[in-house]
Amino acid sequence: MKDFFICNCAQHENKLITSSFVVVSKQVKPKKSGEPYLALTLGDRSGQLEAKMWDNVEDAIDAFEQEDFIKVKGLINKYKNRFQLTIHKLRRLADSEIDFADYLPKTSKDIGELWQTLAGFVATFQDPNLKALVEAFMSDPAIAEAYRNAPAAKSLHHAYIGGLLDHVVSLFRSCDLVCRNYPQINRDLLLTGAFLHDIGKIHELTFNRSFSYTTRGQLLGHMVIELEMLQAKVAQVPGFPDELKTLVEHLIISHHGQYEFGSPKLPMFPEALMLHYLDDLDSKMEAMRAHFERGADADGAWAGYNPSLGRPLLNTAKFLEKKEETEKNGKLATPEEQTNHAEIKEAPMIPGLDLDERSEAPAPLLASSPKRIG
C-alpha cells in the first residue's frame, strides 16, 4: 500500500516525497524558452494533484502515457493557494507493482446491501410493465456488474467506485419519502426514472484505472446512450405500452432540468419535475459532504470556495461547536474580534480565500443553483 496519499499534502508541504500515482492527464507544453515541460494531473483514491516536470523532460516524455501508473520523486509546494508537485524523477510502473485499491476511491458502504435495497424497492412496484422493465436491467449480468461499480460522475459528485449505485439508492429513498406527501405522483414511474436517469454512465465513463470519458461517452453523452439501452430492454417486455415508454424517455432526457445544463427538454409532468429536483438535491448534498470531508483537518468553520456550487461553504457543525466551546469557557468577544466580525459581515469574501484559488468566476448567491452538477 502507498504510504503517501494526495490528501496528506498539508503535512508534507515544502518536503520531498516519493510515491506512486495514476496519470489522469498528460500534456507537453512549451516553456518561454521554447523547451518542453510536462503538465500532469496525478490521482490516487484520495484525490487529484497538479504536477509539473521542468528538467530532463526529453527522457520522460515517451516513458509513460495517460492512465499509466508512475512512481515519482518530487517537491510538494503551493502555487496560488493550491498544492502542486514539482517532479524531479519518474518512472513507469508495471501493473504487478501496484495495488489498484490505492488509486480509485470506493464507497465505504456494502455494495451488495445497496443492490439488495434497490431490489427491495423494485419488488414493491405495482405497475407490472415498469417492474418487468427495471428487472430486465437488473438481471442483465453485464449491466448489473457495471451498475454496481460505476461512479455517478467523473469528479463532481459520487465520484467513486459504487458511486452510481450509492446515488440511486439515496435517490430512491428520497423519491419514496416525498411521494407520500404528494399522492398524485406515480411512484413506480418516478422510481423507474430514478433507476434509469444515469444508467448510461456505465458506458459514458471508464473506471478501470482512473475516471475519464470513453469515446462513445464523449461523443454521445449518457442520455443518448440511455435511450438506446431503454429501446433494447423495452423490446424484451411483451406488450410494453408505447405511451409509458414515451414517459420514461422524457424522464431520461429532461432530468437535467434546464437547457443550459444539457437537458434537451424541460420537465413537463410532475414525476419528471420531481426527479430533476431530487436528483439535483442529492448531487449537491453529496458534493457538500465530500467538500467538508476533504477539509476535515481545517480548524475554521468556513471550508473554502466550492467551484461546482459557485460559493464558499460553511460547516455548520464546526461553527456551532466553536460557539458552544466559547460559551462554555465564558469567553466574550474582544472589541477587535467584534470589529473583525463586522468587517466579515460587510464583505462577501471569506478571510483567506484568494480569488486566484477559484477555478472560475464566483457566481452570485442566488436561490437558484449556479451550476448543474448531477
Q: Any idea which residue has 423507474 for its cell? A: 192
**Spatial separation of the C-alpha atoms in residues 8 and 4, rounded to whole Å:** 7
Note the pLDDT of residue 342: 40
Annotate 245-272 with b (16+ C-beta within 10 A) or e (fewer): bebbbbbbbbbbbeeeeebeeebeeebb
Residue with the larger pLDDT of the pair 148 and 212:
148
Note the pLDDT of residue 296: 67
Fold matches, 6-102 and 111-288: no
Cell for 101? 485499491
Note the pLDDT of residue 3: 85
DSSP structure string for 195-237: HHTTTTHHHHEE-SSS-EE-HHHHHH-HHHHHHHHHHHHHTTS
Note the pLDDT of residue 374: 61
State whether CATH 3.30.160 applies to domain 111-288. Answer: no
Domain ranges of the chain: 6-102, 111-288, 295-357
pTM: 0.73
What is the third-level CATH fold of 6-102? OB fold (Dihydrolipoamide Acetyltransferase, E2P) (2.40.50)
**Spatial separation of the C-alpha atoms in residues 85 and 87, rounded to whole Å:** 6
**Spatial separation of the C-alpha atoms in residues 248 and 134, rounded to whole Å:** 11
In the chain, what percentage of residues exceed pLDDT 70?
Answer: 84
Helix/strand/coil percentages in the chain, nearest 5: 45, 20, 35
